[in-house]
Homo-oligomer: A and B are copies of this chain.
Amino acid sequence: MERAVAFADLISANSTDNALMLRAIKLVGFGGREAGEVLIDMGDRHIGTLLGGRQAEVVDRLRNESTFESHQSRLIEIELGDVEAVRAGLACGGVATVLAQRISHLPNGFVDALAKRVPATLITDLDEGVIGSLVGIREGLFEQFSDRVGATIGERARQLHNQTRDLVEEYEFGGARVVIEVFAPPTKFVIVGSSGLSKAISNQVQILGWSSFTHDDAESAAKASAELGPNDALILLSHDHDLTTPVVAAVVAKTPQIYIGSLGSRHTQAERRRRLTELGVSVDSLVGLHGPVGLDLGSKTPPETALAIAAEFLAYRSGRSASSLRFGDGPING
């Protein structure tokens, strides 16, 4: 289950007081299964899964330990034999390290951020609980670090957070065990206006592991766009200003700096900006508006144009120049 969706459900369930957040931060065995699954347990029900449905066992053990009340964070090791594991739908057995916290002990804004598809990172000292958090991307990044977060850990947390994808890393640091977890909703493209190009963009987005949704009418386009976060993209292929202008105005008001790619001539772009200004949208808030959309690659076919769009989005999200790597002297990997 996608983490962002789980957190949105949690908020709408409005029952965070007694809720636990559990996630597998380390897996050994399990046929190469990756760490990162998240489960939100609300006592009477849960969102998400852990270890193919073995969550009940973990949650029971946690809730029955009297000491848990007094701790903000808790580590549990779960060992599953091959037979048990296969019964739970896993490839084979292994040992899982599960980190649990009360939702009420998470930093301010953390759950809210994830529900809004904003990437959020936790730094947890396994003895002391959460000691730091990062929320947002680019210039909108908000950091809360306690004195226990050293310079090395802080720098590493920023690096991992900037990867804008789910990650877990564990450290031994000055006698403490520290875990950095990045919770980043997978990028979503909302495309307004279906065409051969919208199909090509969907194909391109799919092989990147992202998702895309195409809308043709104003109502569904506005609804889908309202759910976008700063890590997502709005792509306007329709030239109908009456359809697209209100969507753009709403999106930038809610999610400043979001990437918006807009097809059309320079004349169409000027007209779009004129209409947005008329609606009271400031020029400053249009920093993410990219029109004409895409990098200048000399693209000729729809798949090539889709490539130019995805490449521009990626460069914008990473704050990179898009010039050839061979001309730079900075790090090659983001």
Q: A165 at the A/B interface (Cβ < 8 Å)? A: yes
Binds B, one of A94-102, A142-150, A203-211: A203-211
Centre residue among A301, A311, A318 by max chain B CB count within 10 A = A311
Structural contact, B301 and A322, CB atoms closer than 8 A: no
Chain A, range 249-274, C-beta contacts under 8 Å to B: 265-266, 269
Chain A, range 285-304, C-beta contacts under 8 Å to B: 290-301, 303-304
Q: A89 at the A/B interface (Cβ < 8 Å)? A: no
Chain A, range 317-333, C-beta contacts under 8 Å to B: 317-326, 328-330, 332-333
Q: Contacts A297-B311, A301-B209, A307-B310; is A326 near B292 (CB within 8 Å)?
A: yes
Q: A312 at the A/B interface (Cβ < 8 Å)? A: yes
What is the predominant secondary structure among interface residues of chain A facing chain B? loop
Q: Contacts A204-B207, A207-B203, A315-B296; is A322 near B320 (CB within 8 Å)?
A: no
Q: Contacts A207-B207, A301-B165; is A315 near B295 (CB within 8 Å)?
A: yes
Structural contact, A294 and B207, CB atoms closer than 8 A: no
Q: A113 at the A/B interface (Cβ < 8 Å)? A: no
Structural contact, A295 and B310, CB atoms closer than 8 A: no
Structural contact, B269 and A296, CB atoms closer than 8 A: no
Interface residue total, chain A, C-beta cutoff 8 A:
49
Task: Tell me the nearest residue of chain B to A312, going by C-beta.
Answer: B324
Number of identical protomers = 2
A211 to chain B, nearest CB (A): 14
Question: Chain B contacts of A311 at CB under 8 A?
Answer: 295, 297, 307-308, 311
Bound complex: CA A292 to CA B329 (Å): 10
Bound complex: CA A307 to CA B307 (Å): 7
Question: Chain B contacts of A298 at CB under 8 A?
Answer: 314-315, 317-320, 334
Q: Contacts A163-B300, A303-B207, A307-B208; is A292 near B332 (CB within 8 Å)?
A: yes
Bound complex: CA A73 to CA B301 (Å): 31
Q: Contacts A269-B326, A324-B294; is A300 near B334 (CB within 8 Å)?
A: yes
Question: Chain B contacts of A292 at CB under 8 A?
Answer: 325-326, 332
Bound complex: CA A294 to CA B265 (Å): 28
Centre residue among A269, A296, A308 by max chain B CB count within 10 A = A296
Task: Tell me the nearest residue of chain B to A303, going by C-beta.
Answer: B208
Structural contact, A297 and B324, CB atoms closer than 8 A: no
Question: Chain B contacts of A269 at CB under 8 A?
Answer: 326
Question: Chain B contacts of A200 at CB under 8 A?
Answer: 207
Nearest 5 A/B pairs, CB to CB: A298-B318, A298-B334, A297-B314, A311-B311, A292-B325
A-B contact pairs, 9 of them (CB 8 A): A164-B300, A209-B301, A209-B303, A292-B332, A293-B325, A298-B319, A307-B307, A322-B324, A323-B323
